[in-house]
Amino acid sequence: ETGVTQTPRHLVMGMTNKKSLKCEQHLGHNAMYWYKQSAKKPLELMFVYNFKEQTENNSVPSRFSPECPNSSHLFLHLHTLQPEDSALYLCASSQQGEKQIFGSGTQLSVL
């Protein structure tokens, strides 16, 4: 248990579905991150939030929509995904300028 909790742990969805990934941290951190890890590829940063404000969008397609209602929660809303979006989605948090702590990830399969 790292202090960063991601749900669900596994998700299977069709291309027409809408689903959401949730990330929660109670470490008092003020920055939260979404990463994507496709099979046999390095982790790719998707989004960064600092104090609930999005500060980085790494050219992510609009079918991925992040939401950060407060410093402790981060969501990734998914709609009309493609099979190539199947991947491990990882959330992380940090205190500004310090190490990032990762959750266990959500393994997503798009059929």
Would you count residue 43 as binding another protein (CB under 8 A)?
yes
Decide whether 11 or 92 has the Cβ nearer to another protein: 92
CB of 14 to another protein, least distance (A): 23
2-10, 13-21, 66-74, 76-84 -> range binding another protein (CB under 8 A): 2-10
Calculate the alpha carbon distances from 37 to 26, 74, 86, 93, 105 in Å. Answer: 24, 18, 9, 17, 10
Binding site for another protein (CB under 8 A): 2, 4, 6, 31, 42-45, 48, 50-51, 55-56, 88, 90, 92, 94, 96-97, 99-105, 107
